[in-house]
Structure formats: C-alpha cells, structure tokens
Structure 1
C-alpha cells in the first residue's frame, strides 16, 4: 500500500511509535492502493477517477450531474474551507442520490470561514452520500492519471480502518469502462417542469423571470441550474423536459428554441435514444443550442463521431479559441469524451478549439440554425468569458421569428 508521507505517527500499545491506521482507501483497478483519512459518507463507492484543477466552486462541482459515476480529485489543496450553502447547488434533482461517487482531497477539511456558509463540508458530504478521502499526495495521483488515463477505482471509508483490501481490488478490477455507459437516466428529471429563476445578485439573491419573450425547451441530460438561470435572464420562458421526451412531445410545446444540456456518460450510449429526437428537431430547423453532452450528441445527430479522452478536461482555467471572433477565452470544462473533428460532415463548421490539446470545442451547422460548444459557458464555477453564447442563442431565435 502507498503510505502517507505527511501523516502523524501515533503511540503503539507497547509504548513505541506506530503508523496510524488508515480510515479510507482508494483502490485502483490495477491494484494500486492509496491510504488516507476518511471524510464524508461511510462505506464504499465505485467510480472513474478524474482530477479537477479549479481553485473555487467545489460545491458546484460536486453537485454537477455531469460527474455522475466519477470520483473527483481536487488538485487545489484547500477544499471545504468556506463550507457549503443552499445557493451554490447545481443539480436540479435534489431528491436523487449524488451523481458524484467520491471526492479525494490533499488537506484535511477545516471549519468553514465564510459568511455565506450554512453547513460544514464534512456534514454536507455525509448528507449527500459522497465518500471522501484526505491526506494523500493529490499531485502524484494527478500525474498518474495524466500518464495512464482515468482509472476505475473503489473509494472506501471505515472509521475502524478495517478493510478487505483483496476484495476491494477484485471489485475495482471488475468495474466496467465508462465507454458504452448511459448514465443520464440516473440524473435526468422524471417529469416536465417550468423554470423561471434568474441569476444571483449581490444582496438580493436570485430573481424571477416575469415577462418572457421567448420559449425555450431544455432537454435535461443532467442540466445545471445556472444554465437555466442564464436563459431566464434573457427573457426566456424555460420548460425542462426529461431526456426521454420525444420530438413530438417537444414540438407540441411550440418552442422558439431547443437547448441540449450537459450530462454524464458516453454520448454514443445516450445517443441511441436521444440522437433520433435531436435529428428530428434539427430537421424542423428550430434554433438549437447544445453544451457538453448536448454538443457531443448534436455532432452525433449530423453524422460525426465521439471518442473517449485519455484524461478528460476538468477545471475552470481552460483556454479555448473562438474562430468566429478570433478571441481566446478562459472557460470551465468537464468532459471525458470529445467530438472527433475529422468525422464532422461538410455542414458542421468547427467554431471552437481547445488550446491545451487541440480537441474540438464547438460546431455550428451551416444549413440549420444550430450550434454547440464542448465547454461550460455558464461557468459555476469558472470565468464568465463565454456568457455571450447565450446571447448568440437568443439572437438565433429572434432571427428565426422574423
């Protein structure tokens, strides 16, 4: 087992000094075992281990449905120090179990120090059912992921430090790859609902959209709240429908535009039932905007392909170039699959590209009023460089109505 270099020694029963017993383990599919101190929920959880480089917004990250089935490693060491609150949640489905399976931290969680905090991070993790581990060298784990890709693993927390390590190794080795997994059913809404909450304002909190001029139907593959708020900010009535909604269901709502949301898992797997719906909506030439998983499935709907990434993109400091403006933006990202630009058809023009690895980050269709981006222009957490994309969507709807 990998030992903790910064863990304090305890006194053994015989008066000598001994290594304290680990209360949490991360067991990778290749048999590597990392020892740490447990936080959050007790028990075991399987998942794919990724790393996130954001320095703020841990609550938004851990409530982002796009992380379903994953164990998030934070590269920033101080996580939990500002506590949690009821306003920074991103999932719309609080009744569902947390999509995130586990969290890995370098430094022990401290008492919160922030006027907005309403709860200790550790208590919140317990309530959300998220298993946590602290006290390991997250830089070394990040380097491992960069070298070998995102591994499957079991994260386990037991205050007694009693683990069946061999059994955990077998469980980790038997976990299925994220390739081929449709995880949207565990995060999508069960029924249609309307959304009218607008963005948070200092000293005022969230507002309400009372005079909408446009109607947007948002297909929920794991949508984040701030996406819906930014649509409401722009005088849009927003109707959220389940991922299983048919094209007929959506067209019956007479939308001015359709939004394809972010979400978890393999887009090709979700696309088995979503792509025919998206294709039918595109054929109706309804203005359409997709983000993240929605971007990938729009690409699939016009004949492109997607592929699993080596380490994925997870963070709030990713540089992306917008070819339509020739500007570079710093954006928030969270995805483990990407659109294969070489498979894009002639009617899909590449609009954005990652300056980290050159992967595709956006397309626009030349024969239909539709575009999509791989990154998260709504931020939460992250910079707001790409908020203009929501204005672009509004303009598309307004132009289509003329």
Structure 2
C-alpha cells in the first residue's frame, strides 16, 4: 500500500494522517467541513487527562443513570425512548462490566504513552495550542466519592500513572481561586491542558507540509473495498466523485459506525453528547479569579481548562439522545451556575455554549486496528478521551498499516519465486 485515504478531519483523523505521512505514505484526508476539527474536536474540555482514564463500565454508572433519567439538568441523561442501536449498545456496555479494571488500567497506559507523541509533535512542528502543564485536580465533596477515587488511583498506578491524595487545605494551596467546601481531592501533577482545535488545526497544516492532501468540504457518502482497492465516493455539485486508494483508515467519529457497516465491519459506536461553555475573561478581576490548575468535579462530571489569559473552558455531562447536536439551555445553565459557585469572581456575562457528540464504544475502549478487508483500518470510538489518546492510537494504527504494507511486499516476492 502506498496511497491511503483517511476519513475524518477531527483530532483522530489529523493525527492519523500525520503519523502515516511521517512513515512515507501518500495520504489524502477527507473532511466534510471547511476546516479541520469543527465537530467533536472543536471545543471540548481541553484536558490531556490520563487521570480520567477510568472507564464508565461500572455498576455505579447504571445506578446514577436510572436515578437521573427524569432530571433534565442531570450530569448523565438518557432519553428513555428505545431504539435498537441504544438497546444493543447498553447490552454490550453491561457485558463489558467484568472488564472494568482491566480496561481502566489499559486506558491509563495508552494515555501516558500518548503524551510523548503529542508533545514531541507539537514541539517539532511549532504548534501553539495554549498548553498548560499545571496538573489536574480531582475534587470530591463526600467520603464515598473520595474513597472510590482511591480505588481508581490504584488502577491508574498499575497503568503507570501516579497521583496523590490531597487534603482540603492542600487543594486550596494548589488552586487558591477554588471556592466551596470539599472532603478532599486527588492531584495528578503530570496531566495538562490545551486547546484541541488549535492543536488539530496546527497539526493539519504540518501534515500538509509533509505532503498530505487535505480535501475539505468533501462529504463522503459511500466507502467500499475489495481488499486490494479502497473506493470512496464523495457528493459533489455536479454529481458523485469517485476516488481510489490502496487502503483507508476510518476516523469519522460517530459516522464511523455507518462506514464500518458498508465495509462489512461492526463498530458499535453510540453518539454521547457533551456540552461546554467558554467563558471570556474580559476583565482583570475575572482573569485573576479563574483557575490555572485544571479541575475535574466527579460529582457533577465537569472538567475545566484555562486557555490562555482570557478564556476559561468548562465541559462535561453525558446525554444519550442519538445523533442530536442541539444546544439545550437547560443543559448549559448548570455549567454556568457551577462557575458562579466555584469561582465567584468570574464575570459570566460573556459565555459561548457548544455541544459535540463523543463517539463511544460500549466497552469504552477505542477501536484501533484492521477491519475484515486487508486494506481497511479503524481509529475511532475514543469517547471522552479522544484528545488524550489520539496521538498514541494514531501511531499504533499507522504502524499497523506499515506492517500490512510489509506483509504485502513479502507476499508479492514469494509469488514471484
């Protein structure tokens, strides 16, 4: 394989295209928007958080989902209307619960490994993405949440990530602007934050410098493969345009499920909506009253990041409501109220709301690797950790494409003997 198509211009698609180009492949990236990173990779929580590697396949998630089902502002909200996709996804989610510990440890390992790739790429390409290496502070209001965090910390340690328990007094020293009463916290000094959109845009430009052909505004309608050629059909003003490649990598977020079905694979991604607000810190008081250390509030399922001097991002919640990108006021309001309670010196008159669909697999593990056809690969389904895991999964899938290329060369030589 020499020519490779990458479908999707979000964080996983762009990192995959870049990793393939670094290995000498002729890469074409298809993205339906005018620019890279315009959907789920546009305004997420900003955390590069190995400390958030705990998978959701735990009995407590089901219990909370049932308790919150009829509460519109709940951190986890499930539309009770049944669909076959939703039912099958939750059935597989429950089936994955026995692997909760193993998958949490493996996710932590991936997250720790991803750092070296992402930071090295950013430095090599000179990408400014408001990186802050100030750590992440997990905050807990009660003993139950704090004790569960202790058990999670033991799993993270198995994955190579140290984090330490901190008292309320230590929490105040770590982040003096944080208001409220807390039982305790856990601090991960090695975690960091940054602007995912700025990073993805910068890496897309770097990929172009390496020879990647970026086709923006290209809405891929169909994909197919006979194992030797990968065929991509794009909708155009004058009809359909057909492109042929030696292989393809599907990195299309929530659309990956449909593309996989066309290729004979089952990738059971469900779109889990998350919300964010970007608070513009337009005055010195707000800038001084906003945190520099990133936070994760486990009770409300909210995360924060400080993006430069004058932006503060708060994101989180999970909504199971199909492919629905509506920005609901009753889901945004709790985020604003949280800022006002925890950081009362921040002026919240200038707030930009956003919603995106996380592509989640039932076992919370990304789908990375080959499909049924010899020239089809996947790098998708990262859920709430796409930003955190993208660099390492891109490197993994690029290595697998390269290995497949070597296998084909050996096969061709053997056929000639």
TM-score of the superposed pair, with normalisation by structure 1: 0.24
Higher strand residue share: 1
- Which has a greater percent of helix? 2
RCO higher in structure (CA 8 A, sep ≥6): 2
